[in-house]
Amino acid sequence: MYAPRKLAAAFLGTCPWRRYHRRHMGISVREALSKVHGSTKDIKIQGWVRSVRAQKEVLFLHLNDGSSLENLQVVAEPSLKNSAISFGSSVEVRGTLVNSVGKMQKVELKAEEIRVIGECDTKDFPFKIKEHHPPEYMRQFPHLRCRTNAFGSLLRIRSEATAAIHQYFRDNGYVHIHTPIITSNDCEGAGELFQVEASNRDTAPGGDGEFFGAPAFLTVSGQLHLEVMSGGLSKVFTFGPTFRAENSQSRRHLAEFYMVEAEVSFTENLEDIMQVMENLFKSATTSLLSKCPDDMNLFFKYVSLGQEGRLDRLITKKFIVMSYTEAIEILKKVTDSFKHKTEWGCDLQTEHEKYLVKHCGDVPVFVVNYPFDLKPFYTRDNEDSPRHTAAAVDLLVPGIGELFGGSLREERLPILQSRLETRGLADTYQWYLDLRKYGSVPHGGFGMGFERFLQCILGVDNIKDVIPFPRFPYSCLL
């Protein structure tokens, strides 16, 4: 038997790539582009060909591996040209990284060897070199659209935004909680649930597909589970997938989306919660502008002209606050401009939300104290009259409308108990009542739709273009 080291030596001894395994350092395009001084020998880069230009005396390739928007220029002897090197093919290039003499790039890879890893049939490949593909076209190819500049940038921004949001909460003393995806509660009480059943009814416990012995659903919000945890850890957050069976084809609704939720104990003011929302929004946006300027610029240049200035306003201006009652007064003055009713007591529709933001000079607006009857059972009663309101808040932003929804939660046991009894929910939510029975504290929190956040800062019109695999009625590709 060979010892592992002997086995490796035996393999390398027969391997045609032996010298490369020993000598060439594999680096990403991003790393290569950041090396600006002198030349570095024995470099290996793997990626996809974005362009091929063969001249009489030199062959130029542009390589992208998804690590940056910018491609790496490869310069090679024409003898290295091979018909399999085409737009879309995957290659491995070995050579020396040198300062470029061209004006378009600082460094380039002088190739000694080009190996095609995977060929690409450019005739059938849905994306064509140097062609602009509209988002609706790209959406048909969720398995290939990450090869385009625009979607590559979006995915890097999405990844940075996720990190920035986690960083904000870490910096401010919040504990991250993994709230469950499968749950037995309908947090929002709106009945927009996907039910979870075992696909094999014969072998599942209970024999009727009801695996858990009771109806189970995909979560519509992690709020109630976060409330549990804020009852011991004070400041908590969750950031995960959320599911709603809303029959909507709108540009701001998905059946599966990501929600950022926070819950804060020992707070009696909606203003405290609103301050966290505003800080989170501004901190995540500022971080993206500094961490991925090239990717952000692609959106400012090609997707939403003028977006850079609009973003600047969102970061620097103090957000505006108005009550629901004031909002209705504003809307009633232009009631004919809307399809939906604008009476006190009606829910605000997207058209109303967008109007309110415009009315406030395109600065985000907090609308507070909504009619009590519009809000879910957990919202704190303001106990006012004749217009009965609850301590709820929505943050409305330009181009989108509602981005955050939050509230103070009803922490008073007798009030919550009687509300749940009236709705016939007291038995189901016994555990929720327990939270008020044992060391209850005033608390509140919010949820922010992550895709709507991306739409808002990048100026993307359709929510389906800011998530890798959009799910909506009649569409669950892949």
Residues that bind ligand 4AD in the complex, under the rule CB under 6 A? 187-188, 221, 223, 244, 246, 253-254, 257, 259, 261, 402-406, 445-449, 451-452
Task: Identify which of residues 252 and 436 has a Cβ nearer to ligand 4AD in the complex.
Answer: 252
Whether the Cβ atoms of residue 127 and residue 148 lie closer than 8 Å to each other = yes
Task: Identify which of residues 9 and 476 has a Cβ nearer to ligand 4AD in the complex.
Answer: 476
Diameter of the chain measured on Cα atoms:
88
Task: Identify which of residues 221 and 369 has a Cβ nearer to ligand 4AD in the complex.
Answer: 221
Distance between CA atoms of residues 215 and 210, nearest Å = 6
Task: Identify which of residues 160 and 261 has a Cβ nearer to ligand 4AD in the complex.
Answer: 261
Task: Identify which of residues 136 and 347 has a Cβ nearer to ligand 4AD in the complex.
Answer: 347
CB of residue 340 vs ligand 4AD: minimum separation in angstroms?
18
Task: Identify which of residues 45 and 396 has a Cβ nearer to ligand 4AD in the complex.
Answer: 396
Task: Identify which of residues 87 and 355 has a Cβ nearer to ligand 4AD in the complex.
Answer: 355
Distance between CA atoms of residues 166 and 341, nearest Å = 39
Distance between CA atoms of residues 345 and 327, nearest Å = 12
Q: How do beta strands 389-397 and 195-196 pair? A: unpaired
Q: Which of 48, 36, 15 is CA-nearest to residue 119?
A: 48
Secondary structure (3-state) at 302? helix
| Token duo for residue 327 | 């909002």
CB atoms within 10 A of CB 127: 17
CB of residue 438 vs ligand 4AD: minimum separation in angstroms?
22
CB of residue 452 vs ligand 4AD: minimum separation in angstroms?
4
Distance between CA atoms of residues 322 and 108, nearest Å = 55
Distance between CA atoms of residues 74 and 96, nearest Å = 10
Secondary structure (3-state) at 169? helix
Buried b (16+ CB within 10 A) or exposed e, 174-185: beebebeeebeb
Task: Identify which of residues 153 and 185 has a Cβ nearer to ligand 4AD in the complex.
Answer: 185
CB of residue 226 vs ligand 4AD: minimum separation in angstroms?
7
Burial class (CB in 10 A: 0-12, 13-18, 19+), 239: buried
Distance between CA atoms of residues 376 and 413, nearest Å = 16
CB of residue 214 vs ligand 4AD: minimum separation in angstroms?
22
Residue bearing tokens 């995915």: 155
